[in-house]
């Protein structure tokens, strides 16, 4: 088990539920009545399957009932979502073994209510097939009858909102020997569920961060663009891309999640994934353009078409990510029991996506490191001109170059953390569904990465906003051809009316030639 921090609380909590075996002997099992596992109107219960035999209770009359949450507790909209995984306790019997490629078919009904005395309202009713992947480690002999198979956990249900206080699951395992339904699946003794939801305390901190950061980034973004438009020249590519990055950051910041507290919006998870995907695509594209604009010469700069080989794959990857998300969470809007992980093909595709995405991001980061190295080498080649400058201007340029190199190193650090965050978040979301390795992530990691993105975008817009202050009217106008009284800024990539900016003159290839 890998833990990023054992002290800070996790953003999610997991609660275990053991189903109660209820008896429903009505002819029509699907109408009106909901079977409660406990409480004043609890169902007629049996302790185990063996008790059903002397009472002549058939398998079709047994209903596994689960009440969410546990007794004396309530669910809350602050939990944001509910994800459930299922674990079957299957006993080994010589005359009822699990056959190869066995599939369990469950008839599942989900209901909700907001008062313990109110009637249950049906929320979903689906036939839920799941493939069994079980192994029996002991010899299959009579003396080992009754021992349990070791079965993989199964994805069961995901709901994108928690708008009600109480939920009820009634799970039936209908047997039909003629149609081979639930035949050859072993002797199912119990059904256990694990429910995962977001912690209410983390949700409040998350909402507070978004509420504070949204106006902060928006104000800086408006200020930045006003500074750009006041220039006597049109905006250049890098300035436009920084502005687009600010828009995508503002889009992901807008705290629309506040509405989920009062409205039953099950599409919020999908909408959140789309917003984050847009930001990822914009951020990855920006880093390529940001480095490229400091490597190209005058003729190649300021043309988005020059980056199609790098930005194109990012756009294609983002589109594939969107399709992958729609294939699961898009379908879950109408069927909360659907999961792409339930079939062998779906599981392989999902696993392949996570692995390929992780490898591609690592390769992207290595390519970005190479581009930053090229930029550093380009600037170092220009520093040989600094000793010929006057002391004041030389110190000014040295400080400017130092700040620029520091920003490039911060860019690399931000890129590395973003790659780590994406991989860890994908593994965290998927580990319940495929079993095996567990990665525990605390709330400080999520809020820290989110704060880092905002701070980085804020710093970019602040540092790259054109300055309208004059720098030294009495300075020599021969140093690198910078005219006296020109407008100074950290960097833009094209000339002003008054002359080219400073980092541009240092990084362009023409100066070296």
Cα gap 255→253, rounded to integer Å: 6
Q: Locate CATH 1.20.1070 in the chain.
A: 201-464
Cα gap 445→9, rounded to integer Å: 10
Q: Sign of the CA dihedral 196, 199, 203, 206?
A: negative
Cα gap 88→186, rounded to integer Å: 10
Q: Is pTM, for the whole model, over 0.85?
A: no
Using alpha carbons, list the distances in angstroms from residue 185 to 97, 148, 441: 7, 13, 36
Please give the chain's pLDDT, 513 residues, in tens: 343 444 456 788 889 999 999 998 775 555 557 999 988 888 888 888 778 777 778 888 899 999 999 998 999 999 999 999 999 999 998 888 888 888 899 999 999 999 988 899 999 999 999 999 899 888 888 888 889 999 988 889 999 999 999 999 999 999 888 888 888 888 899 999 999 999 888 999 999 999 999 999 999 999 999 988 888 888 888 889 999 999 999 999 999 999 989 888 889 989 999 999 999 999 999 999 888 887 755 455 667 777 888 888 888 888 888 888 888 888 888 899 998 888 778 888 888 888 888 888 889 999 999 988 888 887 777 666 677 777 777 777 777 777 788 888 899 999 999 988 888 887 776 655 554 444 456 678 888 999 999 999 999 998 888 765 544 443 433 444 343 333 334 443 333 333 334 554 455 444 344
CA angle 11, 128, 69 (to 5 degrees): 40
Cα gap 502→495, rounded to integer Å: 10
Cα gap 340→409, rounded to integer Å: 39
3-state SS class at 185 = strand
CATH class of 201-464: mainly alpha
- 359-365 contact pairs (CB < 8 A, 24+): 360/317, 361/419, 361/422, 361/423, 362/419, 364/284, 364/419, 365/415, 365/416, 365/419
């Amino acid at each position: 088990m890998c833990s990023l921090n054992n002290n800070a609380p996790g953003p999610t909590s997991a609660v275990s539920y053991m189903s109660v075996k209820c008896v429903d002997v009505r002819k029509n099992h699907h109408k009106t009545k909901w079977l409660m596992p406990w409480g004043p109107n609890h169902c007629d219960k049996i302790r185990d399957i063996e008790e059903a035999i002397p009472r002549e209770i058939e398998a079709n009359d047994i209903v596994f009932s689960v009440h969410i949450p546990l007794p004396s507790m309530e669910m809350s909209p602050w939990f944001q979502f509910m994800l459930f995984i299922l674990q079957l306790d299957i006993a080994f019997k010589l005359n009822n073994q699990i056959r190869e490629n066995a599939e369990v078919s469950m008839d599942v009904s989900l209901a909700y209510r907001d008062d313990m005395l109110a009637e249950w309202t049906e929320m979903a009713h689906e036939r839920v097939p799941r493939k069994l992947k079980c192994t029996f480690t002991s010899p299959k002999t009579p003396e080992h009858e009754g021992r349990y198979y070791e079965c993989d956990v199964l994805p069961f249900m995901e709901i994108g909102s928690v708008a009600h206080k109480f939920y009820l699951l009634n799970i039936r395992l209908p047997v039909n020997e003629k149609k081979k339904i639930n035949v050859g699946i072993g002797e199912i003794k119990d059904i256990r569920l694990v429910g995962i939801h977001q912690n209410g305390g983390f949700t409040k901190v998350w909402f507070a961060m978004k509420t504070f950061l949204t106006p902060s980034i928006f104000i800086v973004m408006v200020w930045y663009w006003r500074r750009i438009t006041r220039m006597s020249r049109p905006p250049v590519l890098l300035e436009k891309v920084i502005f687009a990055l600010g828009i995508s950051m503002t889009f992901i910041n807008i705290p629309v999640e506040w509405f989920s507290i009062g409205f039953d919006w099950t599409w919020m998870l999908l909408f959140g994934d789309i917003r984050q995907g847009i930001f990822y695509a914009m951020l990855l594209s920006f880093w390529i353009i940001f480095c490229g604009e400091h490597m190209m010469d005058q003729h190649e700069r300021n043309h988005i078409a020059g980056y199609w080989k790098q930005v194109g794959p990012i756009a294609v990857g983002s589109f594939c990510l969107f399709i992958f998300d729609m294939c699961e969470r898009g379908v879950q809007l109408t069927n909360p029991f659907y999961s792409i992980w339930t079939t062998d093909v779906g599981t392989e595709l999902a696993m392949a996506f996570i692995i390929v995405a992780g490898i591609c991001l690592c390769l992207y980061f290595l390519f970005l490191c190479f581009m930053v190295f090229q930029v550093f080498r380009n600037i170092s080649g220009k520093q040989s001109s600094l000793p010929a400058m006057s002391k004041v201007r030389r110190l000014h340029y040295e400080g400017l170059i130092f700040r620029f190199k520091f920003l490039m190193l911060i860019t690399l650090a931000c890129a590395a953390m973003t790659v780590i965050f994406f991989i860890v978040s994908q593994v965290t979301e998927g580990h319940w569904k495929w079993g095996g390795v567990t990665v525990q992530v605390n709330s400080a990691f999520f809020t820290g990465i989110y704060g880092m993105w905002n701070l980085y975008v804020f710093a970019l817009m602040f540092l790259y906003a054109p300055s309208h202050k004059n720098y030294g009217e009495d300075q020599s106008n021969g140093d690198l051809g910078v005219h006296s009284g020109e407008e100074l800024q950290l960097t833009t990539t094209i000339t002003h009316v008054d002359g080219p900016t400073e980092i541009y003159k240092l990084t362009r290839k023409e100066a070296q030639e």
